[in-house]
Chains A and B, each alone.
Chain A
Amino acid sequence: MPTFDRELSLTLGGEAGQGIQTIEYLLSHLLKTAGYHIYATKEYMSRVRGGSNSTTLRVGEKSIAAPCDRIDLLIPLDKAAITHVQNRISPKTLILGDKSRLGEDFPLIDVPLEKLAGQAGSGIMANTVAAALVCGLMELDAGLLNQFLSSYFAGKGAEIIRQNLAAAALGLEWGAKIARQEQIKIAIKPTPEVKNQILLNGAEAIALGAVAGGCNFVSAYPMSPSTGVFTTLAQNAEKFGLVVEQAEDEISAVNMALGAWYAGARALVPTSGGGFALMVEGISLAGMLETPLVISLGQRPGPATGLPTRTEQADLEFALYGGHGEFPRIILAPGNLQEAFLLTARAFDMADRFQTPVIILSDQYLVDAYYNTEKPDLASGEPENHFIKTRADYQRYQLTENGISPRGIPGFGEGLVCVDSDEHDEAAHITEDLDIRSRMVEKRLKKQELIKETALQPTLLGKAGSQNLIIAWGSTYQVVKEALEILSLKDTAFLHFSQLHPLPATTAGLLAKARQLVIIENNATSQFGKLLQLETGIKIENRILKYNGLPFTVEEITEHLKILWEGGLE
């Protein structure tokens, strides 16, 4: 008898426009409300209608935050949805769907989704039937589902609500019937701690983290996958008093943000690699003006327009080197939703304190992934501005011991605040005095030392000094963590970096202790490996790299590590 007691992996597939996103939203929110740990990740094509997209939901008794290959239940809305995920289907996978549409090529349990939807009023509600079907299989409370649907469709009028409730009732009944007849048992228990957790995706985590960091100005030009950050902030602009503007291009967006910071705002620019390419001159300008700047760079595969809706970690070197001349910068890469929130908030403080650009590297995988997590702690308090009230003799680029010149803003104090993109003297006037040039270069670079002192330590899972050390950065944190929990490898630890530049001074020491190192990156050339070698002299020979546009899955990492460290297995 197919039984799922600790966890269920459910995949839904269909064309764009068939409502897969709605099912994902409904089920993830509903199951979270019902007290299940929930995780959802989607992969989709760059088109508005047609194609083949899928969403995988994992429902469990313990917190889950990583993609897996395994499919326990597959609900395809069209035939292509099956072939699309064919290599993830195993003999144990149960397929539920419309036999009349899907044909006989695959063994499946017949559920006439469209017909049922038709009975309730219209075939387009097949997605509501599918969502309810899962609830029926899980013996979920009908009241909860009805309440959820009523509020979800609230804006669409009474008739739509009524029809969807009818469709849900039919789906629920079919689900329960299948569970009885086919003897499918989903025995995952809800957990009380889930109730107090929040469910959100990476884009929301970054956007709300920005608010927590005092962000009050957003200028951007839309580009996947950063659009979610932009829209979340736009939708909350009124609530938080944010200025949000869609610029004519990324060049304008970054220059607006620099103007805003100069005038005392805290500005964020969300973008992706292609947009960042246009912002490079602005990054360099921030370096020269010593104006703070926060950029949220959601990576997608390149070069150029690449794969617009897929994921990759291949813009690290670009973030590191984009911009001409030499000046300090900070690069952060959150490993999960908690960090996405907290590091984005922190980015504003760092940018303000060190008067330099901070780039938050996320990726399509992270911004689109949903799961329940602890509500981030706001106890660290409301952000503080680091600008000063100026005196009449104020000089923006005063040479100081630590390289940080007190930053004034125009209209606050008696002084004049002048900034210049040409090399300048302490008063910001253009200079070709080459002695001043040298001192200004040194002043700007001095800040890098200060920044390094405050660098975030990498997260170490496992014992310090382990023989085997796995290294990863950014969004791969959770998947590696889960793989390690499955494997229980001997004498193995995992070191995850969420500050990539400047690296903390401890880095070389941490790496040198291990006898075998392996690096895991969602790119083809191991960009972080190269950076580590540059900084520590240590070359990491073992590399687990993936660059087909999809994130790593738990099974992939597990397999790779098994092959590599078979002997290390207990």
Chain B
Amino acid sequence: MSNPYDMGAIDIAWCPGCGNYGILNMVKSSLSELEIKPEELIMVSGIGQAAKIPHYLKTNFFNGLHGRALPAATGIKAANPGLTVIAESGDGDMYGEGGNHFIHTLRRNPDITNLVHNNMVYGLTKGQASPTSQPGFKTPVQVEGVSEEPFNPLAVAIALDAPFVARIFMGDKEQSKEIIKQAIKHQGYALVDIFQPCVSFNKVNTYQWFKENTYYLEESYDPADRQAAFQRALESEKIPLGIFYRHESRPTFESTLSAYREDKTPLSRRKADFNKLEELLDSKK
């Protein structure tokens, strides 16, 4: 079956063997399996290797600035809540440069899906540490190895009561794709942190390393339990994969806007109400 998101033969700027290819394929098949029309999907990204992904999908896209995918995605969703909006970028983009927006987007809870390629390194700028790099990780800048505590996106997201929090490894195609699909279908902000090997600059966190150091949350695990979710997000000996936390109790940002209380029309199709404006001006007499 042909995939409507397929670009055909294009030049892709990723290194051979990079984990980004697997993510691209998973996202592509998730979207077509969910039967989302490319005209109604917006891929929003920042800057980095991962952030090039919209160029490799046949859909609308907004490829903005480093770290700013989430505010732009929020603006798009709030201007037209009928669109499906995915914000997809790297860990440096989302958690580093965009850290403040990450926190506040979670608080705001727009109905967007946030896919983060977590390769624990800065790819595009050739191998500096990222906020998720493991302690001891050596780079041309972190010459003695990373000394900072790594950023824990899942724990932060659960602390902020994000309504959908998951982690996947791109190497496990089927499970990962199912989780991405659930994240897209979820009403409200959904975080999927995606382990992705960078074959050029991260010689520590390789395919093999991710395989050996991850495992899936057990079948009996209840993602509604926030305390448990938080605890599992702190595990570091072996890293759990799966849906950590999930609930439907928070209203989405768009649904709280008075602009859409009675009228669901996207802003592009609204007209300024000149009668009301005349009235308001007259009240100043």
Contact = CB atoms under 8 A, between A and B. Distances in A.
Interface of A: 195-200, 204, 208, 211-217, 219, 236-243, 245, 247-249, 251-253, 255-267, 281-282, 285, 289, 375-376, 378, 382-383, 385, 387, 409-422, 428-430
A308 to B, nearest CB: 23
B99 to A, nearest CB: 11
A200 B283 CA distance: 10
A424 B273 CA distance: 38
Given A260-B78, A415-B39, 17 more contacts: A195-B285, A198-B285, A236-B280, A239-B273, A245-B108, A259-B74, A259-B76, A260-B75, A265-B80, A289-B62, A410-B60, A411-B83, A412-B268, A416-B60, A418-B60, A421-B65, A430-B52
Contacts of B82: 411
A213 B272 CA distance: 8
Nearest to A257: B75
B63 A385 contact: no
Given A251-B71, A409-B268, A265 B79 contact: yes
B12 to A, nearest CB: 11
Contacts of B103: 248
A421 B267 contact: no
A243 B79 contact: yes
Contacts of A237: 258-259
A285 B64 contact: yes
Given A375-B281, A378-B277, A410 B68 contact: no
A258 B83 CA distance: 16
A493 B261 CA distance: 54
Interface in B35-67: 38-40, 42, 44, 47, 52, 54-55, 58-65
Interface string B216-237: 0000000000000000000000
Q: Which of A215, A385, A411: most chain B Cβ within 10 A?
A: A411
List the 7 closest A-B pairs by CB distance, nearest first.
A264-B268, A259-B75, A256-B75, A259-B72, A248-B104, A255-B71, A263-B79
Contacts of A385: 268
Nearest to B37: A411
Contacts of A238: 258-259, 261
A247 B71 contact: yes
Given A416-B60, A430-B52, A258 B100 contact: no
B190 interface: no
B76 A262 contact: yes
A212 B274 CA distance: 7
Contacts of B79: 217, 243, 259-265, 267
A285 B75 contact: no
A68 B65 CA distance: 47
User: Which of B77, B268, B273, B276 neighbours the largest number of chain A CB atoms within 10 Å of its CB?
Assistant: B268
Contact of B39 (A212, A247, A411): A411
B78 A217 contact: yes
Contacts of B61: 418-420, 428
Contacts of A236: 280
B277 A211 contact: yes
B9 interface: no
Contacts of B58: 416
A255 B278 contact: no
B263 interface: yes
Contact of A420 (B40, B63, B277): B63
Contact of A241 (B47, B72, B270): B270
Contacts of B65: 255, 281-282, 285, 421
- Looking at A239, A260, A263, A416, the one whose CB has the most chain B CB atoms below 10 A away is A263
Contacts of B42: 263, 410
A412 B39 CA distance: 8
B282 interface: yes
Secondary structure of the B contact surface, majority rule: helix
A448 B250 CA distance: 46
Contacts of A211: 272, 277
A175 B60 CA distance: 69
A311 to B, nearest CB: 23
B266 interface: yes
Nearest to B253: A245
Contact of B284 (A200, A247, A383, A410): A200
B73 interface: yes
Contacts of B13: 430
A416 to B, nearest CB: 5
Nearest to B55: A429
Contacts of A251: 68, 71, 100-101
Interface in B236-277: 257-259, 261, 263, 266-274, 276-277
Contact of B54 (A253, A255, A418): A418
Given A241-B263, A387-B268, A416-B39, A263 B71 contact: no
A87 to B, nearest CB: 34
B72 A258 contact: yes
Nearest to B267: A265
Nearest to B102: A248
A430 B55 contact: yes
Interface in B179-196: none
A258 B64 contact: yes
Contacts of A214: 271-272
A430 B14 CA distance: 13
A421 B64 contact: yes
A385 B44 CA distance: 24
B60 to A, nearest CB: 4
B269 to A, nearest CB: 8
B72 A256 contact: yes
A212 B78 contact: no
Contacts of B257: 243
A310 B255 CA distance: 39
B80 A216 contact: no
A252 B100 contact: yes
Contacts of A411: 39-40, 60, 80, 82-83, 266
A378 B282 CA distance: 12
Contacts of B272: 211-216, 240, 382-383
B284 to A, nearest CB: 4
Interface in B10-36: 13
Contacts of B278: 378
A249 B99 CA distance: 12
A294 B61 CA distance: 22
Contacts of A266: 267
A242 B261 CA distance: 11
A260 B77 CA distance: 8
B164 to A, nearest CB: 21
A60 B267 CA distance: 44
A505 to B, nearest CB: 32
A262 B282 CA distance: 34
Contacts of B273: 239-241
Given A376-B281, A418-B61, A264 B266 contact: yes
A262 B43 CA distance: 12
B284 A256 contact: no
Contact of A252 (B62, B104, B269): B104
Contacts of B75: 217, 219, 255-263, 265, 267
A237 B263 CA distance: 13
Of B38, B58, B60, B280, chain A has the most CB atoms within 10 Å of the CB of B60
A256 B263 contact: no
Given A410-B42, A422-B63, A239 B52 contact: no
Interface centre among A251, A259, A385, A414 (most CB of B within 10 A): A259
B157 to A, nearest CB: 16
A216 B79 CA distance: 9
